């Protein structure tokens, strides 16, 4: 039997340069500006999809991790920006949940409403809040299928203690999606 393949997920090195790790991002808008900047840079570098995300300590506003869409460059359909940010945060904090005893509360900021998979990952991640930029309709307008996400999906998260804020800097986040389309970016889940 041949050896089993290994999976290694590494964030692009340039990601760290876009983040001020010592800064407190104090508002939803500042946090979303970072997620959008990550998405835009991913598009401009031609590395992956037009999505960015970050995990922050809710109270301090300090970034814990960031992620961009790595589906195409790493040939892995689950490497959406949200899942990458969550995985890197959990690895950094050495915990499978961001709601472990003794940890500050965390939130996920995503440049677009999450797809069905990322909503599920949000639920299991341990974040207490989800902040979204562009709308599902904005992603669909350039060809992305976000899967079975319904108003009840958001209600389910809310009922389990995850606060949700949508539409933060929507126009700016939508512009990144349009940039991706205009540059001929691959729509990988259509």
Residues belonging to the active site: 82
Is the CB of residue 134 less than 8 Å from the CB of residue 102?
no
Q: Residue 105: which of 55, 53, 157 has the closest Cα?
A: 55
Backbone angles phi, psi at 182, to 5 degrees: -65, -25
Is the CB of residue 47 less than 8 Å from the CB of residue 10?
no
Determine the Cα–Cα distance for residues 20 and 100; give it in Å rounded to an integer. 25
């Amino acid at each position: 039997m041949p050896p089993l393949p290994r999976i290694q997920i590494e964030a692009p090195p340039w990601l760290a340069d876009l983040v001020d790790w010592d800064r407190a991002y104090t508002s939803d808008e500042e946090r979303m500006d970072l997620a959008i900047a990550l998405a835009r840079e991913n598009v401009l570098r031609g590395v992956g999809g037009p999505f960015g995300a970050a995990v922050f300590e809710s109270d301090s506003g300090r970034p814990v991790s960031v992620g961009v869409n790595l589906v195409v460059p790493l040939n892995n359909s689950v490497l959406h920006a949200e899942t990458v940010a969550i995985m890197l945060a959990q690895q950094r904090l050495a915990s499978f949940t961001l709601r472990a005893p003794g940890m500050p509360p965390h939130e996920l900021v995503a440049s677009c409403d999450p797809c069905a998979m990322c909503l599920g990952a949000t639920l299991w991640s341990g974040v207490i809040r989800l902040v979204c930029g562009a709308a599902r309709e904005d992603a669909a307008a350039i060809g992305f299928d976000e899967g079975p996400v319904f108003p009840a999906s958001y209600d389910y998260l809310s009922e389990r203690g995850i606060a949700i804020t949508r539409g933060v800097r929507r126009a700016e986040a939508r512009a990144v999606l349009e940039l991706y389309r205009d540059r001929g970016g691959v729509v990988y889940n259509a």
